[in-house]
Amino acid sequence: MRSLELDFQSRPRASLPGWGLLLLAVIVVLFSLLYQWRLTAATEDQQHELARVEGTLPGRNAATGAAAGYASPVQEAELKEIRRVSEQMNRPWEGLFTLLETMSREDVSLLLLAPDAHKRQIRISAESRDLPAMLAFHRQLEQSDELSDVSLLSHEIVASVAERPIRFTLLATWEVNHEYP
Protein backbone atom coordinates (compact mmCIF):
# COMPACT_ATOMS: atom_id res chain seq x y z
CA MET A 1 0.00 0.00 0.00
CA ARG A 2 1.09 3.43 -0.81
CA SER A 3 2.01 5.88 2.02
CA LEU A 4 -0.13 8.92 2.39
CA GLU A 5 1.58 12.29 2.76
CA LEU A 6 -0.45 15.10 4.29
CA ASP A 7 0.81 18.69 4.07
CA PHE A 8 -1.13 20.98 6.37
CA GLN A 9 1.11 24.01 5.77
CA SER A 10 1.28 24.42 2.07
CA ARG A 11 3.20 27.33 0.70
CA PRO A 12 1.10 29.84 -1.18
CA ARG A 13 2.19 30.39 -4.71
CA ALA A 14 2.79 33.90 -5.94
CA SER A 15 0.40 34.90 -8.65
CA LEU A 16 1.06 37.15 -11.60
CA PRO A 17 -1.45 39.84 -10.46
CA GLY A 18 0.26 39.94 -7.03
CA TRP A 19 3.68 40.54 -8.61
CA GLY A 20 2.17 43.20 -10.86
CA LEU A 21 0.62 45.02 -7.90
CA LEU A 22 3.94 44.94 -6.02
CA LEU A 23 5.76 46.37 -9.05
CA LEU A 24 3.14 49.12 -9.40
CA ALA A 25 3.52 50.07 -5.68
CA VAL A 26 7.32 50.27 -6.02
CA ILE A 27 6.99 52.53 -9.07
CA VAL A 28 4.53 54.84 -7.25
CA VAL A 29 6.89 55.11 -4.25
CA LEU A 30 9.85 55.93 -6.52
CA PHE A 31 7.89 58.64 -8.36
CA SER A 32 6.72 60.10 -5.02
CA LEU A 33 10.29 60.27 -3.73
CA LEU A 34 11.47 61.91 -6.96
CA TYR A 35 8.63 64.48 -6.77
CA GLN A 36 9.43 65.29 -3.13
CA TRP A 37 13.12 65.70 -3.95
CA ARG A 38 12.26 68.16 -6.74
CA LEU A 39 9.92 70.14 -4.45
CA THR A 40 12.57 70.35 -1.74
CA ALA A 41 15.15 71.57 -4.24
CA ALA A 42 12.74 74.19 -5.63
CA THR A 43 11.87 75.40 -2.11
CA GLU A 44 15.55 75.77 -1.21
CA ASP A 45 16.18 77.72 -4.43
CA GLN A 46 13.28 80.07 -3.67
CA GLN A 47 14.48 80.60 -0.09
CA HIS A 48 17.97 81.49 -1.32
CA GLU A 49 16.47 83.89 -3.87
CA LEU A 50 14.29 85.49 -1.19
CA ALA A 51 17.27 85.95 1.14
CA ARG A 52 19.25 87.51 -1.71
CA VAL A 53 16.44 89.92 -2.61
CA GLU A 54 15.81 90.87 1.03
CA GLY A 55 19.51 91.61 1.42
CA THR A 56 19.36 94.16 -1.41
CA LEU A 57 16.37 96.09 0.02
CA PRO A 58 17.18 99.53 1.44
CA GLY A 59 17.00 99.77 5.22
CA ARG A 60 17.58 96.04 5.69
CA ASN A 61 20.62 94.42 7.24
CA ALA A 62 21.72 91.66 4.89
CA ALA A 63 23.17 89.50 7.68
CA THR A 64 20.13 89.45 9.94
CA GLY A 65 17.33 90.54 7.62
CA ALA A 66 16.17 92.98 10.30
CA ALA A 67 15.23 96.60 9.79
CA ALA A 68 18.15 98.95 10.37
CA GLY A 69 16.22 101.47 12.47
CA TYR A 70 14.37 103.03 9.56
CA ALA A 71 10.60 103.15 9.63
CA SER A 72 8.31 105.50 7.79
CA PRO A 73 5.84 107.63 9.77
CA VAL A 74 3.00 105.44 8.50
CA GLN A 75 4.77 102.30 9.74
CA GLU A 76 5.46 103.92 13.11
CA ALA A 77 1.80 104.90 13.46
CA GLU A 78 0.75 101.35 12.60
CA LEU A 79 3.21 99.93 15.15
CA LYS A 80 1.89 102.31 17.80
CA GLU A 81 -1.68 101.19 17.09
CA ILE A 82 -0.65 97.52 17.20
CA ARG A 83 1.03 98.04 20.58
CA ARG A 84 -2.07 99.83 21.90
CA VAL A 85 -4.37 97.01 20.80
CA SER A 86 -1.94 94.42 22.19
CA GLU A 87 -1.91 96.14 25.59
CA GLN A 88 -5.69 96.23 25.51
CA MET A 89 -5.96 92.52 24.70
CA ASN A 90 -3.41 91.42 27.32
CA ARG A 91 -5.34 92.85 30.27
CA PRO A 92 -6.85 90.27 32.67
CA TRP A 93 -10.46 90.74 31.60
CA GLU A 94 -11.74 87.74 33.57
CA GLY A 95 -11.11 89.44 36.92
CA LEU A 96 -12.94 92.60 35.91
CA PHE A 97 -15.93 90.71 34.48
CA THR A 98 -16.11 88.50 37.57
CA LEU A 99 -16.12 91.59 39.80
CA LEU A 100 -18.89 93.28 37.84
CA GLU A 101 -20.98 90.10 37.62
CA THR A 102 -20.75 89.28 41.33
CA MET A 103 -21.66 92.76 42.53
CA SER A 104 -25.24 93.24 43.64
CA ARG A 105 -26.61 95.48 40.92
CA GLU A 106 -30.33 95.15 41.35
CA ASP A 107 -30.97 98.83 40.72
CA VAL A 108 -28.00 99.51 38.39
CA SER A 109 -27.60 98.57 34.73
CA LEU A 110 -24.24 98.74 32.99
CA LEU A 111 -24.33 100.54 29.66
CA LEU A 112 -20.68 100.80 28.60
CA LEU A 113 -17.20 99.63 29.62
CA ALA A 114 -14.42 101.60 27.93
CA PRO A 115 -10.92 100.56 29.04
CA ASP A 116 -7.77 102.54 28.38
CA ALA A 117 -4.90 100.09 28.87
CA HIS A 118 -2.20 102.73 28.41
CA LYS A 119 -3.53 104.83 31.29
CA ARG A 120 -4.69 101.71 33.17
CA GLN A 121 -8.13 103.20 33.56
CA ILE A 122 -11.64 102.10 32.78
CA ARG A 123 -14.69 104.25 32.11
CA ILE A 124 -17.98 102.76 33.25
CA SER A 125 -21.29 104.18 32.06
CA ALA A 126 -24.37 102.95 33.86
CA GLU A 127 -27.95 103.78 34.74
CA SER A 128 -29.53 103.52 38.19
CA ARG A 129 -33.08 103.79 39.49
CA ASP A 130 -32.19 106.44 42.04
CA LEU A 131 -29.34 108.36 43.67
CA PRO A 132 -28.79 105.93 46.61
CA ALA A 133 -28.37 103.01 44.17
CA MET A 134 -25.79 105.00 42.20
CA LEU A 135 -23.84 105.86 45.37
CA ALA A 136 -23.99 102.24 46.60
CA PHE A 137 -22.59 101.03 43.23
CA HIS A 138 -19.82 103.65 43.50
CA ARG A 139 -18.94 102.44 47.02
CA GLN A 140 -18.84 98.79 45.91
CA LEU A 141 -16.42 99.64 43.12
CA GLU A 142 -14.20 101.61 45.51
CA GLN A 143 -14.05 98.69 47.94
CA SER A 144 -13.02 96.17 45.29
CA ASP A 145 -9.44 94.97 44.91
CA GLU A 146 -9.38 95.34 41.12
CA LEU A 147 -10.42 99.00 40.95
CA SER A 148 -9.15 102.05 42.80
CA ASP A 149 -9.57 105.84 42.60
CA VAL A 150 -13.19 105.52 41.49
CA SER A 151 -14.46 108.96 40.48
CA LEU A 152 -17.87 110.16 39.38
CA LEU A 153 -17.34 112.03 36.11
CA SER A 154 -20.92 112.94 35.29
CA HIS A 155 -24.50 112.17 36.12
CA GLU A 156 -27.87 113.27 34.82
CA ILE A 157 -31.49 112.56 35.54
CA VAL A 158 -33.27 111.30 32.45
CA ALA A 159 -36.43 113.39 32.57
CA SER A 160 -37.87 111.96 29.36
CA VAL A 161 -38.49 108.58 31.05
CA ALA A 162 -41.33 108.27 33.57
CA GLU A 163 -39.16 106.48 36.22
CA ARG A 164 -36.54 109.28 35.96
CA PRO A 165 -33.42 107.05 36.12
CA ILE A 166 -29.98 108.49 36.66
CA ARG A 167 -27.33 107.97 33.98
CA PHE A 168 -23.81 108.32 35.26
CA THR A 169 -20.20 107.79 34.25
CA LEU A 170 -17.44 106.60 36.54
CA LEU A 171 -13.69 106.54 35.95
CA ALA A 172 -11.53 104.07 37.86
CA THR A 173 -7.94 102.92 37.86
CA TRP A 174 -7.72 99.26 36.92
CA GLU A 175 -5.31 97.56 39.28
CA VAL A 176 -3.63 94.34 38.17
CA ASN A 177 -2.02 91.99 40.67
CA HIS A 178 0.31 90.57 38.00
CA GLU A 179 1.39 92.07 34.73
CA TYR A 180 1.59 90.15 31.50
CA PRO A 181 4.94 90.42 29.73
What is the sign of the dihedral through the CA atoms of 66, 69, 75 and 76? positive
| 164 and 104 share one domain | yes
Do residues 105 and 154 both lie within one domain? yes
Residue 145 counted as domain residue: yes
| Residues 114 and 48 reside in one and the same domain | no
pLDDT for the residue 6: 80
- The answer to whether residues 96 and 51 belong to one domain is no
pTM of the entire predicted model? 0.50
φ, ψ of residue 41 in degrees (nearest 5): -65, -45
Same domain for 48 and 103, yes or no, is no
Whether residues 59 and 107 share a domain: the answer is no
25 domain-assigned = yes
Range of the domain at 125: 91-174
- Residue 75: pLDDT band with limits 50, 70, 90: confident
> Does any domain span residue 46?
yes
For 135-179, what is each residue's pLDDT tens digit? 999 999 898 888 889 999 999 998 888 888 999 999 999 876 555
- Tell whether 53 and 95 lie within a shared domain: no
Residue 152 sits in a domain whose CATH number is 3.30.1360.100
* pLDDT, tens only, 78-129: 888 888 777 766 767 777 788 888 886 788 989 998 888 778 888 999 999 9
* 114 falls within a domain: yes
Query: What CA–CA distance (Å, rounded) separates 15 from 59?
Result: 68
> Is 117 a member of any domain?
yes
The pLDDT of residue 65: 46
Let me know whether 95 and 163 are in one domain.
Answer: yes
95 and 41 inside one domain = no
| Domain count along the chain | 2
**Burial track 103-122 (b if 16+ CB lie within 10 A, e otherwise):** bebebbeeeeeebebeeebb
Do residue 47 and residue 122 come from a single domain? Answer: no
Cα–Cα distance measured from residue 84 to residue 91, given in angstroms and rounded to the nearest whole number: 11
Confirm whether 26 is domain-assigned. yes
> Residue 179 phi/psi, 5° resolution?
-95, 145
Does any domain span residue 129? Answer: yes
The answer to whether residue 132 sits within a structural domain is: yes
**Does one domain contain both 55 and 113?**
no
Give the Cα separation of 125 and 111 in Å (integer). 5
CA distance 104 to 51: 61
Mean pLDDT of 33-39: 96
